[in-house]
Amino acid sequence: MGTIPELAGLLPEDVKGEDILIYNFNKLTSLYYSYIEKLSTLTDERRSEINERLSGVFNYSSYRPKIRGFLCNPDNGFEIHNCVYCDIHHFHTYKKNGKLCIDFHADHVLDEGKCPLVGLSIHNFVPSCAICNEGGNKGTKTLGRSKRETLKISPKSRQNRFESDVDFFFTPSCEDIKDLRMFRGNEGWEIDFNYSVAEYGRTIELFSLRERYNAEKGRMGEFIFRRRNNPDTKIRNDAQALKVLFEKRVEELFEFERNKMDHAPMEKCRRELIKQVYGSLPGGVPD
C-alpha cells in the first residue's frame, strides 16, 4: 500500500492483510466506498493499474477452492440452505471424495473488481443461486449506490430488515379471494410486494423477484388450496391417526421449517399468502 501514493491514509498504518480478511461487513463497506472515492479522480489507466496490482494479492481465483471448502464445512457453524437473495432456490448437498459439497455460488456482495481489497474477506461472501448471481440480475453490481444504501439492503448487514419489513401479497382478479379455483393455475392473480422503504424496491428489481415469484404462482396456489382442504380440525384428526404431533403434520402439509437441515424455499411467501386468505396460519404455528 505504501507504494501506491493515491491510497495514502486508506488503512491504519498497523493493519495487516489478514486483518482485512475478517473485517465485519460495516468496516468492509466503509473500506469499499473510501477506496472507490480515492480512485474516482484518477485516469482509467491508472485506476486499472492499481486494481490489477491489488488483485494479484487478493486473488479470489487462486483461493476459490479453499474459500468454498471453508464455507461448506458444517463444523464452522454456517447454515447454507437457500439463496439469500431470492429464497427460491434450495442448495443441495452431496459428498465428493469424502468431503461435503454444496451447489451454491459464493457471491461477493461488494464487487471485488471495483475494490480488490475486499476480494477475500469472509464477511463479503453470501450463498447465491446462479440466477441471482448472473449478469442479468446482480452480476458485479453493488447492492446500493452509497454506503448507507448498501448497509440497508445487504443480507450481510445488521441494518437489513427485508425479512420483516417486506410482505408478500396477491391481487386477485375477482372480489372474493376465498374463491380458490383460480389458485390452481397461473391466471387471474399476481404476487406482489408491500414495503415502505424505497431501497427494498431496488432489491426486488435487481433480482427480478416480482417476475420470478409470479413464475411460481401455481406452486404457491397449491398450498393455499391445500389449506382450504385441511382446516385445523382435519389436521388434528389426521395427526392422531398418523400418531404424530399436530405441529409435525402442519410442517408436512405446508413445508414450514420441516427440520434444521431442510429449510424449504419460499416459506415466507407461502406463510403470508395463506395468512392473507384465511386471516391466520394453521393453529399453533407462529407468524
Q: What are the start-end ranges of the H helices in the chain?
A: 17-21, 25-39, 44-55, 60-72, 130-133, 147-153, 162-165, 198-206, 209-214, 217-228, 232-242, 246-254, 267-278
Longest dimension (CA), the chain: 75
Could you tell me the CA-to-CA distances from 122 to 150, 200, 227 in Å, in that order? 17, 24, 42
Q: Alpha-carbon distance 209 to 180, whole Å? A: 24
Q: Alpha-carbon distance 149 to 142, whole Å? A: 10
Q: Alpha-carbon distance 205 to 212, whole Å? A: 11
pLDDT values of the chain reduced to their tens digit, one per residue, 287 residues: 788 999 999 999 899 989 999 999 999 999 999 999 999 999 999 999 999 999 999 999 999 988 888 888 888 888 888 999 999 999 988 888 877 788 899 999 999 999 999 999 999 999 999 999 987 778 778 788 899 999 999 998 989 999 899 999 988 766 655 555 666 666 778 899 999 988 899 899 999 999 999 999 888 888 888 888 899 999 999 999 999 999 889 988 988 875 444 578 999 999 999 998 888 888 766 66
